Amino acid sequence: MEGDEAVKVDYYDGIRISYPKDCGNAPKKIVLLDFYIAFATGNDRYIEDNTSDNITWKIIGNELIVDKDKILERLRNYRGRSIKEILISNLITHGNVAAVNGSIIFSDESTFEYCDIYRFNGFGKNAKVKEVTSYTIQTK
């Protein structure tokens, strides 16, 4: 993505986040971009406000988490590894579903490629995330 004119790079609390410039074209894209920024920077309030109370998170090959507080705890554990960079390669929305893929690099240089599939509880711009399915592979 380096040098790609269609990519925007920002820094939040010293964490590099790169994403497609067209993320501002749809309300759900903005919500999800901000979701990754909130994850990286520890803004649990944003995540709480934009997820339904009965959210589920299925981590393929690992577990199914059905409690919002446990999901927030799991996100905190990931942040505890000290995120260095989040790259969002694609952010696609259609109706009440979305997909985001890219990679996360931690300060120890371990790298994970991910694809997250989101389902919202409605079609409107104020819909909340109600279901996440994550596919992750450690590549470094």
What are 43-55's pLDDT values in tens digits? 999 999 999 999 9
Q: Output phi, psi for 7, to 5 deg.
A: -115, 140
Rounded Cα distance between 72 and 23, Å, is: 24
pTM, two decimal places: 0.90
**Statement: residue 12 has pLDDT above 70:** yes
CATH class of 7-138: alpha beta
Determine the pLDDT at residue 35.
Answer: 95
Contact present, 118 and 98 (Cβ < 8 Å): yes
Q: Where are the domains of the chain?
A: 7-138
Distance of CA 13 to the CA centre of its chain: 17
* Distance (Å) of CA 122 to CA 13, 51, 131: 32, 12, 12
What are 58-115's pLDDT values in tens digits? 999 999 999 999 999 999 888 777 899 999 999 999 999 999 999 999 999 999 999 9
**Statement: residue 25 has pLDDT above 80:** no
Contact present, 82 and 57 (Cβ < 8 Å): no
More confident residue, 27 or 92: 92
